[in-house]
Amino acid sequence: MSSITIPMITQAHRLQKDSTLNFRTKLQKSIRLSEKYHCNIHLKREDQQQIRVFKMRGAFNSFMSLTQEQKTKGLVTVSDGNFAEAFAFFCNHFKIKGTVFLPEVCFQWKIEIIQKYGKDYVEIRSVGESFDEAEAAAQEYIKQHDRIMIHPCDNVKAIIGNATIGIEIIEDFPGEVDYVFVPVGAGALAAGIATYFKAMSPNTKIIGVQPDGAASMKASFDAKKVVRIESMSRFCDGSAVKTVPQITFDICQHNLDDLVVVPEGRVSSTILELYNQGIAVEPAGALAVSVLDQYASKIKDKNVVCLISGGTVDLSRFDEFKEHSLLFEGLKYFFLIQIPFRPGILKSFVSLCLGPDDEISHIQFQKKTNRERGPCLVAIEVAKKENIKKVMENMTKMHLQYEVVNDSKELFDLLV
């Protein structure tokens, strides 16, 4: 088990308070969520950190633990983006040279932010198609150039820095906390918070939350050992890793009361709901709120904290979030229809199959003069979930052969 102690966490918090930077974030009551779930819900707003993500804390504690000799050698990190932003920020803040290894699939806008924070103190290297490949390149670079690695998650100092969030929740919450919901990627955030709460507030239930497209910690929990997941979605890029470190696995397995997986579509719906409340979050930052439906009966009349881990989101992704949400909520369906090529068929389809509040958001087909019918891809958005049943009944009455293709990942990736 980990050798992390409460004095280590309180010392890290003291360093934060003594610095010229402001690390403390709001613990904000959500009236809408409290009313929706009939309990007392507060949001821990780590999206309000200076770089809009909790990883400021772990990075700062890692930098503050360096010796002068280590600083002189130069630093290296590997990241999918968020920790790299914090690393770059502190390289510039402390005037230390650093190199960031990113997978080549990292969003370009994140790369630009990393360079903006790091300025001339950071060099960015994009290597490989995954975090694992970028990490292997970083380790090889360290051997060749005698640099110091600051790892985003396989790093006790980062876990300790993240644990300081727990201090602030207990200090700021008006009463005893019954539940804390924490997003889980590689597990450094959950490991830190769970360690502090289990020592200082043992009756509080700590619930980890992972997206179903990148549930590497859940797979390891199920196997009772660290395992690698072969396929992974990058939708929740702030929490997407194929393999979790042994240290975070051990701490989370020992201290988490539950680890729950939520659908990515539910995450998209949560992002839009929070945005309507004036809170812009990244997919990983929405995980802790996304799980509340699954815990609705357990949290009734309870004191609840949801950790909003970050808000580094590109607003251009909101079309993607809307599409995800509509599909998840059953308000949008893709149909592959064998449509007869006769005059007026599309007009008949709209008038006979759709209700007054339904609409076609996408249609694609190519009419062939030498064929009687052919495939037509149609996306239909309905005002109410139950309306789609009537649309299908109407297509059957028109003797149209159709197939629902919502679950076709290849088609979804092509269209969304």
Mean predicted confidence (pLDDT) in 56-85: 95
- At residue 215's C-alpha, the angle toward residues 209 and 216, to 5°, is 120
**Looking at the predicted structure, is the pLDDT value of residue 416 above 60?**
no
How far apart CA 75 and CA 150 sit, in angstroms, is 7
Question: What contacts 18, CB < 8 A, 6 or more positions away?
Answer: none
Q: Give the CATH fold of the 330-414 domain.
A: Alpha-Beta Plaits (3.30.70)
pLDDT in tens, 178-210: 999 999 999 999 999 999 999 999 999 999 999
CB 361 within 8 A of CB 379: yes
The CATH code of domain 75-146 reads 3.40.50.1100
Q: Where are the domains of the chain?
A: 6-55+156-314, 75-146, 330-414
pLDDT in tens, 33-62: 999 999 999 999 999 999 999 999 999 999
How far apart CA 340 and CA 365 sit, in angstroms, is 11
| pLDDT on residue 356 | 92
Q: Which residue has the higher pLDDT, 297 or 236?
A: 297
| pLDDT on residue 394 | 95
pLDDT in tens, 112-144: 999 999 999 999 999 998 888 899 999 999 999
Question: What contacts 371, CB < 8 A, 6 or more positions away?
Answer: 341
pLDDT in tens, 239-252: 678 999 999 999 99
pLDDT in tens, 223-238: 999 999 998 888 887 6
Domains 6-55+156-314 and 330-414 share a fold: no
Structure tokens at 406: 């919502």
How far apart CA 155 and CA 159 sit, in angstroms, is 6
- Reported as a pLDDT band with limits 50, 70 and 90, residue 374 is confident
| pLDDT on residue 369 | 65
Phi, psi at 244, each rounded to 5°: -95, 150
How far apart CA 353 and CA 348 sit, in angstroms, is 8
**Looking at the predicted structure, is the pLDDT value of residue 1 above 70?**
no
Listed residue (384, 317, 309, 397) closest to 352, CA to CA: 397
Mean predicted confidence (pLDDT) in 136-160: 97
pLDDT in tens, 303-329: 999 999 999 988 889 988 998 899 999
**Looking at the predicted structure, is the pLDDT value of residue 339 above 80?**
yes
| pLDDT on residue 233 | 87
Q: Distance from CA of residue 224 to its chain's centroid?
A: 24
- Reported as a pLDDT band with limits 50, 70 and 90, residue 175 is very high
| pLDDT on residue 370 | 65
Listed residue (204, 323, 224) closest to 265, CA to CA: 323
| pLDDT on residue 412 | 59
Query: Which stretch of DSSP H or E encloses residue 363?
Result: strand 359-364
How far apart CA 362 and CA 104 sit, in angstroms, is 31
Q: Within 13 Å, how many C-alpha atoms sit on residue 177's CB side?
A: 31
pLDDT in tens, 264-290: 999 999 999 999 999 999 999 999 999
Strand ranges across the sheet with 332-340: 359-364, 373-381, 332-340, 401-404
Q: What is the pTM of this model?
A: 0.91
DSSP 204-267: SEEEEEEEGGG-HHHHHHHHTS----S----TTGGG--SS--HHHHHHHHHH-SEEEEE-HHHH
**Looking at the predicted structure, is the pLDDT value of residue 176 above 70?**
yes
Q: Give the CATH fold of the 6-55+156-314 domain.
A: Rossmann fold (3.40.50)
Alpha helix positions (H), 233-381: 246-255, 264-276, 287-290, 296-299, 318-328, 345-353
